[in-house]
A and B are shown apart, each in its own frame.
Chain A
Amino acid sequence: MGYLLDEVFLQRLSRLQFMTKGRLGGRLSGIHVSPRAGMSVEFADYREYHPGDDIRYVDWNIYGRLERLLVKSFIHESDLPIYILVDVSASMRLGSPPKIHYAARLALALAHLGLRSMDRVGVFPFAHRLLASIPAQHGTSHIRRVHETLSSLKAQDETAFEQSVMEFLSLTRETGLVLVISDLLFPTGIEEGMARLLYRGDEVAVLQILAPEEMEPSGSGTAQVVDIETGRFVALNLGPTTLASYKERFKAHQARLQSFLEEQRIPLFTIPTAKPLEEVVFGTLREAGIIR
């Protein structure tokens, strides 16, 4: 466990839990409000009685005054399925430390946080497709499995986000909080994948892990710029002009991504690998209301 995260960090995480904006449907009781009417003490509403309804929930006082059979409904508090989609494509090897390493630590932190909050946590590594996944389960014993999975991640293959989302959706029936951890540096599939998640009703948050070099590239002379996923390359003369052009393109890509996610009410957290993980969890995510 201490391999990825130290104990102090983990203890601090124990005091936090995920916050969701909407009501997500966990099957088990938990601390999160369920979209279904439940058996909790918190009254929700009245509705017409239909045959088959539990007569214990008929409000007889109302019937006495109004001679109408109304059934009381209560807020259902359920657990929160938390799905952590971790990008393990080859591009995640980049950075120092590698982005995959940073992403694994972040995923583990979030999984630890969810499991401590009695939520079910599933880990779904993806690249060109969904890889060996851990279904959403709860319990402290699940933490070890999550840790083992995350610590053994290897960045490889190309990214096919939409395909991976489709496979993810086919594996999970319940809506939940989907945390996408990726560099999101692929030209296509982002919008389509996100749309499919939103269509099912999942609440999505995107944590974009970037190496500082990707945000502020440097270099000089002639270089063979190689796509680490596809192996394709271009020969470029790196100089101020070229690097400035790259930055413009990168900004445009980020702006387009930001614009789309805002439109879909999906929070985007762009996290450089140089940023301490504690600062991300206890600062950025907490301030954004993802956790409390």
Chain B
Amino acid sequence: MMFAAPAALYFALSTLVLMVLALLRPRLERKNVAALFLWEDLKHDARARKIHFRQLLDPLLLLQVLSVFLLVGTLAFPLLSSTRQRLSALAIVIDGSASMRTITEDGRTRYAVAVEEAKAILNENPALTTSVIQFSSSPTILAEEVRSRPLVVRTLDASDPTWNGAGSIDSLVNALSAVGGLRAFDRIVFLTDGEGNDLPSEMERIDITGGENLAITAFSIRENPSSDGAIAFVEVLNDAESDREVTVRISDGSAQTSVAVYLVSKSSEHIIIPFPNSRGTVFSVTLDVEDDLATDNERYFALDRPLDLRVRWIGPPNRYLSAALGAVTPFTLIPAAEEADLTIVHQAMLPASYSGTILLVHAGIQGVVTLGDERDRGTVTAVLSSHRLLVGLEPADIRVFSSPQANLPEDATVILQADGEPILATWQTATQDVTFLAPRLELTNLPLAVDLPLLIRNVASAIVRLPGTLAYGWTHTGDPVPLLGRGAIESLVGPDGREMPLPSSDLYFFPDEPGVYRLTTDRGVFPLAVNIPPSESTSASPRETSANGFAGAAQRRQYWIDLWPTLAGLAAVLLIVELFLRKRGSLRLRRGEA
């Protein structure tokens, strides 16, 4: 408690005057005697002593003194410091972003700490109505103008943090507008571990901190332009207070590679990790470390295209070719009229209008490639032994009993030949990427050797790394994933392998937890890698007004309550009581005299 006008307390000395006057009042009966020596040092009568004390402790005097003290207190304008203030409307905005899942030093999550803090605020500020908003990139109103405090508490207890990122201040203001607007509340408290330095002045921020975090903050996969396989781009953050040595592990589901990284405290490292021989479309990166937020220690990346190769087959089927293709990658045969990832033309003539990646097996393209007479061929020789289509192949082991004479475009690159005739060639046009295999498969030893699948793999690997329809971005939890152009949705499987309800909109899908989703449409299966936003891996800098990083230690808000009206009222009541008692006493006296 403090006094706005402490000098007024000196008026309390007036009570001394009051007491002196009261003591000087002839209260004692005067008894004149002739011989005081007979009275001196007599033993006091105990019962009479009580009466004497009762006289000294005159209740009316006590009431007067108390009234004076209260009036003096009123003049001094006392202010009571309190952490409790009754409000008419209270809004609690609790950060529900993924970073609130960080475990604090006492074993609770930041979100649990925030919930406890929110309950404490409810106790401090009993309000007529309370609104609770869980704030993230997708703000949720948990309670809107609820009058029942237990209901608010139950709502808070039942809530869980999302996997979303933190939303913008504008979205927060919009969410508040939905429950009345900033000015509708006496107090708006924002419990967050985020930055939020540009909060509106009506909002009061309480920092929730605690916990150390190391995280993968960026992850991307790109085709290795100089060799086979892929390259992983990884950003690793050490937000802890000490340096750490961690292992970064990358996997495409079948193969994996890892690298050890030394991370300085409060710094991040960008790592480029080669991932040779990877043919996968779904990748994950894992940080082998123990910290307080495990979610961002693993992130996912998916090549946003169907997992199954969409193959358009023209010509008679060939079980060897199909088997080799199936050994390399899952594929789906689609009608010839649809757009395909790979067009296989087997012993047929392809119209020139077809575009995309084309594999010609003893086949031609109208007006571009024609096949002539068959002739016996001798030894196959490699013209370009280091070509990517020959990775893993042994040209010397390939036997071609006969092959046709082929008229190829002038810019075609011959990779293998026999007797001067092209056996394997490739060329690109503006719309076509063509691989040409001249002989019939049955007239070679390829169906019996491993070289055919290897050749198909090399062809397919080039296909999957083609830019164009591929998307290299990753999706954040809570952010919309566009569905347009993926075909008619048939099913959606979540990261846990369970089928999820189909999105209500054909335009977007809002993933609510990180992991790899699999969207199946009539055009194939699309892997969708969803990660928590990288911003969730970074803790906000402790602010001067916030508690320094310990759960539940947020600074209590101080209120100053004016006490002078209360004191003045009490003084008035006491004076009235004193007056009443005095009048009643005098009435009794008069009646007694009468």
Interface residues of chain A, those whose CB is within 8 Å of chain B, are 91-94, 183, 185-187, 214, 219-230, 232-242, 245-246, 249-250, 253
Instruction: Flag if B29 contacts A219 (CB, 8 Å).
Output: yes
28 sample A-B contacts, Cβ–Cβ < 8 Å, listed by A number: A94-B33, A183-B34, A187-B37, A220-B48, A221-B48, A222-B51, A222-B52, A222-B55, A223-B30, A223-B31, A225-B31, A225-B36, A227-B32, A227-B34, A230-B36, A234-B36, A235-B28, A236-B39, A237-B46, A237-B47, A237-B49, A238-B31, A238-B45, A241-B45, A241-B46, A242-B43, A242-B48, A245-B43
Q: A214-B33, A223-B29, A249-B42 are in contact. List 14 more A-B contacts (CB 8 A).
A: A186-B35, A222-B27, A223-B31, A226-B32, A228-B33, A234-B40, A237-B47, A238-B31, A239-B45, A239-B47, A241-B43, A241-B46, A242-B45, A249-B38
Question: Does the CB pair A226–B43 fall under 8 Å?
Answer: no
What count of chain B residues pass the 8 Å CB interface test? 25
| B34-A228 in contact (CB<8A) | yes
Which parts of B15-35 form the interface with A (CB within 8 Å)?
27-35
**Chain A residue nearest to B40 in the complex (CB):** A234
Q: Which of B31, B38, B48 is within 8 Å of A250, CB to CB?
A: B38
Q: Are A236 and B42 in contact (CB under 8 A)?
A: yes
Would A224 and B45 count as touching, CB distance under 8 A? Answer: no
Q: Is the CB of A225 within 8 A of B33?
A: yes
Does B34 lie within 8 Å of A91, measured CB to CB?
Answer: yes
Within the complex, the shortest CB–CB distance from B123 to chain A, in Å, comes to 54
Chain A residues whose CB sits within 8 angstroms of the CB of B35 once the complex forms: 91, 185-187, 214, 227, 253
Q: Does B319 contact A (CB under 8 A)?
A: no
A253-B38 in contact given A221-B51, A236-B44, A242-B43 (Cβ < 8 Å): yes
For chain B, residues 552 to 566, give those with C-beta under 8 angstroms from any C-beta of chain A: none
Q: Which of B28, B34, B36 contacts A232 (CB 8 A)?
A: B36
| Chain B residue contacts of A234, Cβ below 8 A | 36, 39-40, 42
Q: Which residues of A contact B42 (CB under 8 A)?
A: 234, 236, 242, 245-246, 249
In the complex, the answer to whether B33 meets A221 with C-beta atoms within 8 Å is: no
Complex Cα–Cα for A92 and B33 (A)? 10
Q: Which of B27, B39, B48 contacts A246 (CB 8 A)?
A: B39
Complex CA distance for A282 and B433, rounded to whole angstroms: 167
Shortest beta-carbon distance, A211 to chain B, in Å?
8
**Using Cβ atoms and an 8 Å threshold, which residues of chain A touch B37?**
187
Other-chain residue from A185, A223, A228, A240 in contact with B28 (beta carbon distance below 8 A): A223
Contact A222 B38 (CB under 8 A): no
Would you call B33 and A237 a contact (CB within 8 A)?
A: no
Q: Give the CA-CA distance A249 to B40 in the complex, in Å.
A: 10
Within the complex, the shortest CB–CB distance from A51 to chain B, in Å, comes to 60
Chain B 533-560 per-residue mask, 1 if CB under 8 angstroms from chain A, else 0: 0000000000000000000000000000
Q: Which residue of A lies closest to B50 (CB)?
A: A237
Query: Whole-angstrom distance between the alpha carbons of A240 and B34 in the complex?
Result: 20
Residues of A with C-beta under 8 A to B47: 237, 239
Closest chain B residue to A93, Cβ basis: B32
Question: Which residue of the partner chain, among A183, A186, A221, A225, contacts B39 with CB atoms under 8 Å?
Answer: A225
By a CB distance below 8 angstroms, the chain B residues around A245 are 42-43
Q: Which residues of A contact B45 (CB under 8 A)?
A: 237-242
Q: B42-76 interface mask toward A, CB cutoff 8 Å, 1 = contact, 0 = none?
A: 11111111011001000000000000000000000
Complex: chain B residue closest to A159, CB-CB:
B34
A226 B31 Cβ-Cβ under 8 A: yes
In the complex, A222→B38 CA distance in Å? 17
Cβ of B30 to closest chain A Cβ, rounded Å: 5
Q: For A239, what are the chain B residues with a Cβ–Cβ distance below 8 Å? A: 45-48
Q: Which residues of B contact A238 (CB under 8 A)?
A: 31, 45, 48
Contacts of B28 in A (CB 8 A): 222-224, 235
The 8 closest A-B pairs by CB, nearest first: A237-B48, A239-B45, A91-B34, A227-B36, A185-B35, A222-B52, A239-B48, A185-B34
Q: Is there contact, CB below 8 Å, between B34 and A94?
A: yes
Q: Which residue of B lies closest to A89 (CB)?
A: B34
Roughly how many angstroms separate A241 CA and B39 CA in the complex, as a whole number?
12
Residues of B within 8 A of A253 (CB): 35, 38
**Shortest Cβ distance from residue B29 to the other chain A in the assembled complex, whole angstroms:** 4
**A-chain residues with CB within 8 Å of residue B55 when the two chains form the complex:** 222
A49 to B59, CA, bound (A): 93
Q: Give the interface centre of A227, A230, A236 by most chain B CB atoms within 10 Å.
A: A236
Looking across the interface, which residue of chain A has its beta carbon closest to that of B26? A224
Chain B residues contacting A242 (CB-CB under 8 Å) are: 42-45, 48
State A267–B45 Cα separation when bound (angstroms): 37
Chain A residues within 8 Å of B44, by CB: 236-237, 241-242
User: How distant is B57 from chain A, measured CB to nearest CB, in Å?
Assistant: 13
Assess whether B32 is in contact with A237, with CB atoms less than 8 Å apart.
Answer: no
A227 nearest in chain B by CB position = B36
Residues of A within 8 A of B39 (CB): 225, 234, 236, 246
- Cα–Cα distance between A183 and B33 once the two chains are bound (Å): 12
* Bound complex: CA A233 to CA B44 (Å): 15
A93 CA to B33 CA in the complex, in Å?
Answer: 10
- Find the B residue at minimum CB distance from A229: B34
A243 to B496, CA, bound (A): 101
- How far does the Cβ of B249 sit from chain A's closest Cβ, in whole Å? 96
Contacting pair B30 A226 (CB below 8 A): yes
Which of A233, A237, A250 makes the CB contact (< 8 A) with B51? A237
* Complex interface: chain A residues within 8 A of B38 (CB): 185, 246, 249-250, 253
Give the complex CA separation of A229 and B34 in angstroms: 7
Give, as a whole number of angstroms, the nearest-CB distance from A94 to chain B: 5
A258 to chain B, nearest CB (A): 16
Once bound together, how far apart are the Cα atoms of A225 and B44, in whole Å?
13
For B41, the closest partner residue in chain A by CB is: A234
From B32, B44, B46, residue with most partner A Cβ within 10 Å: B32
Q: Give the chain B neighbours of A186 by CB distance below 8 A.
A: 35
Q: How distant is B45 from chain A, measured CB to nearest CB, in Å? A: 3
The answer for the CA separation of A105 and B46 in the assembled complex, in Å, is 43
Complex Cα distance, B31 from A242, in Å, reads: 14
Task: Please report the C-alpha to C-alpha distance between residue A204 and residue B36 in the assembled complex, in whole angstroms.
Answer: 27
Q: In the bound complex, how far is the Cα of B37 from the Cα of A186, in angstroms?
A: 8
Task: Determine the distance from Cα of A290 to Cα of B28 in the docked complex, in whole angstroms.
Answer: 45
Complex contacts, A227 vs chain B, CB 8 Å:
32-36
In the bound complex, what is the Cα–Cα distance between A158 and B38 (angstroms)? 16
CA gap between A242 and B48 in the complex, in Å: 9
Task: Kindly state the separation between the CA atoms of A98 and B262 in the bound complex, as whole angstroms.
Answer: 116
- Give Cα distance in the complex from A91 to B27, angstroms: 24
**CA distance in complex: A67, B451 (Å):** 206
A94 and B32 within 8 A (CB): yes
| A224 / chain B contacts, CB cutoff of 8 Å | 28-31
B391 to chain A minimum Cβ distance, whole angstroms, is 120
Which residue of chain B lies nearest to A233 when distances are taken between CB atoms in the complex? B36
Q: Is B43 within 8 A of A219, CB to CB?
A: no
Chain A residues whose CB sits within 8 angstroms of the CB of B46 once the complex forms: 237, 239, 241
Question: Please, which residues of chain A bring their CB within 8 A of the CB of B48?
Answer: 220-222, 236-239, 242
- What is the bound-complex CA distance between A225 and B29, given in angstroms? 8
Chain B contacts for A228, CB-based, 8 A: 32-34
Which of A92, A227, A229 gathers most chain B CB within 10 Å? A227
Residue of A nearest to B38 (CB): A249
Question: Nearest Cβ in chain A — how far from B231, in angstroms?
Answer: 106
Q: Chain B's nearest CB lies how many Å from the CB of A185?
A: 4
Cβ contacts under 8 Å, A220 to chain B:
48
In the complex the two chains form, what is the Cα distance from A230 to B31 in whole Å?
A: 14
Taking A224-B30, A242-B45, A246-B42 as contacts, is the C-beta distance between A237 and B52 under 8 angstroms?
yes
How far is the CB of A141 from the nearest CB of chain B, in Å? 36
Question: Which of B28, B33, B43 gathers most chain A CB within 10 Å?
Answer: B33
Q: Which residues of A contact B52 (CB under 8 A)?
A: 221-222, 235, 237
